[in-house]
A and B are shown apart, each in its own frame.
Chain A
Amino acid sequence: MTTEIARHWRLNSQRYQLVGEVCPKCGVKMFPPRDVCMECADDTRQPDFQFSGRGEVYSFTTVHNAPEGYQESAPYTVALVKLEEGPLITAQLTDVVNSEVEIGMPVEMVTRKLRAQGEEGVIIYGYKFRPRLAVAG
């Protein structure tokens, strides 16, 4: 469990704030952060970039037989979300009726419980996506 805590703790800024990187050479935005630019292979230190959290569903599937730690959420939908800034990221959808999810659905990032390490362990929080909130004009 101790190793698990450190592994999750290192990802706080990614998971809480959707912080990735932008390549100083070609300008491509990346999530999660990488040592080498996936577009131009530049390996200089890339500055942090905070994503807006807005995107749309690129593809999705609904999980009925959930892995350990996620059974309480099943059935739930996992989506590839195309962020406005470019990257595709995999995340769970929340606050949604599974049968109403569709490709192209506008979504926004929220921070939710991903899972808990049992009754006595640490609670892991991170990003999920929900249908974009309807706001009166």
Chain B
Amino acid sequence: MPLMKPNTDVGIVGYGCYIPMYRLPAKEVTRIWNDGQGGVPIKEKAVGGPDEDTMTIGLEAARNALVRAQIDPQQIGAVWVGSESHPYAVKPTSTIIAEAIGATPATQGADWQFACKAGTETIQAGIGFVAGGMARYVLGIGADTAQGRPGDALEFTAASGGAAFVIGAAEESLAVFEATYSHVTDTPDFWRRPTTHYPSHGQRFTGEPAYFHHVLSAAQTIMAELGYTAQDFAYVILHQPNRKFPERAAAELGFEKEQWVTGLLSPVVGNTYAGASVLGLTAVLDIAQPGDKILCVSFGSGAGSDAFIINTTDRLPDKQKSAPTTQDYINRRIEIDYATYVRYRNKLKMH
């Protein structure tokens, strides 16, 4: 059986998200680079302010997760941050967050990297860490301040945001992991070399052999292994680099719009990379009912997908409103123009 299923049931004890308040409408990118002509892949994307980065985004998401979890941070045995935009090339983001939430010094800290699926990797590893008795709780975070090269197709969507999850024993959890599965291959659809600022990508190669192959394979395998069809799920969340890809993939898997619409935030938030699928998951957890079955599938270029089947519990309703919801952050919105975006995202070179 290719699935990863712990011998001891593990779940989500607390979750939280963060989305910066600035929004860049996609038509602003078109205005600057395409003479205002042509279609746009999303309505707008979330842009971090000049004092925000992956650490600050991950930290606010983590604080919200801890408010919902109501645990002693000293019992967190690992703080793991998945991102492709860590503030330092060498110096962990995780130790800053661990210090700020009061989890240091007796904790494991590490930064993870796998393009847009680095966040779900921390959750997957956290399941094993908790189930194996290595830690009572693990804090797994996916966050990014994604950068698109000015004028590139990615600039419409590359956005900022993140989500955090306290992983713990099933009996304390608001949702329990039924199983998880990873599907990875060496597929170079998107990459960034160490000393370059902006990523490169393989144009249309990013679609069929990369996104669709991995997302569909991961989803179909985990569903088939457990004998489920699309009708068994209340919600599905797929990685969302734009609006079109996850909608098409969800339809190919047999899901209806009411199953995917709650977790599809890219039209109004953009592609938050390591934060994307996990932000969709927090939006679903904000409104799900006890007993709902959720399928969540990430995708990271390079390439791979992590799939999770998650069942909500009776503990969920009391936790939903105890910290700001995903929609609270979506509603907090100031529209900016391209010039402000250039300044806030450090695209102006002063030397």
Q: Name A's B-contacting residues (CB within 8 A).
A: 12, 16-17, 72-73, 94-95, 97, 110-114, 123, 125, 128, 133-137
Contact = CB atoms under 8 A, between A and B. Distances in A.
Interface stretch (B125-133, B154-162, B320-328): B320-328
Interface in B18-60: 21, 49-53, 55-56, 59-60
Contacts of B50: 72-73, 113
Contact of B51 (A12, A112, A135, A136): A112
Contact of B60 (A110, A135, A136): A110
Contacts of B195: none
Contacts of A12: 99
A91 B89 CA distance: 29
B332 A133 contact: yes
B interface bracket (residues with beta carbon within 8 Å of A): 20 to 34
Interface in B242-260: none
Nearest to B102: A17
Contacts of B56: 110-113, 125
Contacts of A73: 50-51
28 contacts: A12-B99, A17-B100, A17-B102, A72-B50, A94-B51, A95-B21, A111-B59, A111-B100, A112-B51, A112-B52, A113-B50, A113-B53, A114-B51, A123-B55, A123-B87, A125-B55, A125-B96, A125-B100, A128-B51, A133-B324, A133-B328, A133-B332, A134-B328, A134-B331, A135-B328, A136-B327, A136-B328, A136-B331
A61 B100 CA distance: 28
Contacts of A114: 51
A11 to B, nearest CB: 12
A123 B92 CA distance: 12
Contacts of A95: 21, 49
Chain A interface SS verdict (over half):
mixed
Contacts of B87: 123
Interface string B313-351: 000000001001101110110100000000000000000
- Chain A to chain B: the 5 pairs with minimum beta-carbon distance, closest first: A16-B100, A112-B51, A113-B51, A135-B328, A135-B324
B325 A136 contact: yes
A95 B48 CA distance: 10
Contacts of A125: 55-56, 96, 100
Nearest to B343: A72
A92 to B, nearest CB: 8
Given A95-B49, A110-B60, A136-B328, 14 more contacts: A12-B99, A16-B96, A97-B334, A111-B59, A112-B49, A112-B56, A113-B51, A113-B56, A123-B53, A123-B55, A128-B51, A134-B331, A135-B321, A136-B325
Nearest to A119: B351
Interface in B105-163: none
Contacts of A113: 50-53, 56
A118 to B, nearest CB: 11
A95 B50 CA distance: 10
Contacts of A72: 50
Contacts of A97: 334
A12 B55 CA distance: 15
A119 to B, nearest CB: 9
A73 B51 CA distance: 8
Interface in B73-116: 87-88, 96, 99-100, 102
A64 to B, nearest CB: 16
A135 B323 CA distance: 8
A76 to B, nearest CB: 9
A125 B97 CA distance: 11
Nearest to B56: A112
A51 to B, nearest CB: 14
B7 to A, nearest CB: 37
Which of B51, B52, B321: most chain A CB closer than 10 A?
B51
B93 to A, nearest CB: 10
Contacts of B334: 97
Contacts of B328: 133-136
